[in-house]
């Protein structure tokens, strides 16, 4: 694998790549609080037949992290990714693959991209905005599980997370999850990716910029107060694979309820023992499922 740097609209980005430029593009999007290395054990499986690119997204790792909250709105994050498809795939992406926040941006791109630009959409433990907002607003299990979002949005959270060598960041990262994959070497890599308080602030600005509303447990938000979306604008028209670690405690299974009504062609594959960090716990299974989906003929 190789590390590359490139410019998009005057902003410097870093990415991890595998395979040969010019072959069909697979674009891998990480989530919070990760970096391009989240895909390091999955990408090599596709290096022979594809050009695999995993960027540090805006605000993360070695990529651009300046600006303020409005610079991290979904429209800008999606524009970055669509520009990467133009740059690395000449306007074509064999599959856009996202996890966690990367999944949210992958969905946004799939909704915005011109027909034929993204051939397939693959999501690993990530959520479509409509079912997710429904559950966030319901005041139930997902609302309770997502209270950390409000904590992250509060002023000064970046300072608290960066203190004592990111002690609270690692605590947030590992809460109720299997972290046996997090070696000392990988922990050091996360330290390098997060860098400092300014780096944490840039990552958290994704949460501050999103219009999603989180109810207090037991206190549902009235429907009229929720974001107003046009269903046709949220449609996923290309073949879509959803991979799901069933022990995820950050994203509850009900966040998938109703997803099929937004998709023309949805396939779901579940792993019984993986949780939210499925890319690290079961990289071979993830790669196998992606490979099957890429070669599906109908």
| Per-residue pLDDT tens over the stretch 247-277 | 999 999 999 999 999 999 999 999 999 999 9
pLDDT value, residue 298 = 64
Q: How confident is the model at residue 167 (pLDDT cuts 50, 70, 90)?
A: very high
Cα separation of 6 and 190, whole Å? 22
Name the token pair of 155. 């002023």
pLDDT value, residue 297 = 77
pLDDT value, residue 95 = 98
Name the token pair of 206. 């994704």
User: What is the Rg, in whole angstroms, of the alpha carbon atoms belonging to the chain?
Assistant: 18
Q: Which of these, 98, 96, 106, 97, lies nearest to 74 by C-alpha position?
A: 106
Q: Identify any residues that bridge with 274 across adjacent strands, giving them in sequence order.
A: none
Cα separation of 134 and 220, whole Å? 10
pTM of the model: 0.97
- The model's pLDDT over 50-92, given as tens digits with 9 standing for 90+, comes to 999 999 999 999 999 999 999 999 999 999 999 999 999 999 9
Within a 10 A sphere around the Cβ of 260, how many other Cβ atoms?
15
For the chain, the straight-line distance linking the first and the last C-alpha, in angstroms and rounded, comes to 32
Q: How confident is the model at residue 232 (pLDDT cuts 50, 70, 90)?
A: confident
Q: Which of these, 200, 213, 209, 100, lies nearest to 157 by C-alpha position?
A: 200
Supply the mean pLDDT for the chain. 96
296: pLDDT strictly greater than 90: no
How far are the Cα atoms of 69, 170, 237 from residue 160, in angstroms, in the given order?
A: 18, 12, 42
- The model's pLDDT over 103-141, given as tens digits with 9 standing for 90+, comes to 999 999 999 999 999 999 999 999 999 999 999 999 999
Q: How confident is the model at residue 294 (pLDDT cuts 50, 70, 90)?
A: very high
CB 95 within 8 A of CB 39: no
CB 58 within 8 A of CB 24: no
Cα separation of 18 and 41, whole Å? 11
Cα separation of 189 and 30, whole Å? 15
Q: How confident is the model at residue 227 (pLDDT cuts 50, 70, 90)?
A: confident
3-state secondary structure of 2: strand
- Over residues 149-175, the mean pLDDT reads 95
| Residue matched to tokens 């594959």 | 269
175: pLDDT strictly greater than 90: no
């Amino acid at each position: 694998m190789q590390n590359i740097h490139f410019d998009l609209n005057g902003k410097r980005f870093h990415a991890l790549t595998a395979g040969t430029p010019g072959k069909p593009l697979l674009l891998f999007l990480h989530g919070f609080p990760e970096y391009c290395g989240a895909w390091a054990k999955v990408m090599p499986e596709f290096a022979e037949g594809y050009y695999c690119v995993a960027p540090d997204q805006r605000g993360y790792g070695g990529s651009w992290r300046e600006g303020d909250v409005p610079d991290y709105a979904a429209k800008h994050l999606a524009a970055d990714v669509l520009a990467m498809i133009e740059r690395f795939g000449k306007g074509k992406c064999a599959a856009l693959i996202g996890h966690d926040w990367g999944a949210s941006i992958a969905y946004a791109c799939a909704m915005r991209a011109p027909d034929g630009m993204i051939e397939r959409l693959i999501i690993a433990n990530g959520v479509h905005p409509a079912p997710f907002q429904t559950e966030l607003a319901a005041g139930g299990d997902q609302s309770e599980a997502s209270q950390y979002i409000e904590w992250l949005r509060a002023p000064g959270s970046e300072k608290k997370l960066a203190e004592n060598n990111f002690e609270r960041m690692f605590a947030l990262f590992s809460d109720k999850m299997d972290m046996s994959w997090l070696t000392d070497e990988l922990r050091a890599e996360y330290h390098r990716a997060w860098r400092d308080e300014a780096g944490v602030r840039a990552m958290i600005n994704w949460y501050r910029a999103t219009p999603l509303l989180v109810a207090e447990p037991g206190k549902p938000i009235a429907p009229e107060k929720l974001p107003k979306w046009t269903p046709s604008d949220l449609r996923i028209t290309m073949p879509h694979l959803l991979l799901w670690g069933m022990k995820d405690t950050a994203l509850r299974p009900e966040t998938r309820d109703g997803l099929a009504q937004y998709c023309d062609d949805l396939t779901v594959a579940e792993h019984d023992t993986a949780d939210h960090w499925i890319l690290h716990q079961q990289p071979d299974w993830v790669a196998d499922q992606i490979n099957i989906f890429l070669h599906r003929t109908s």
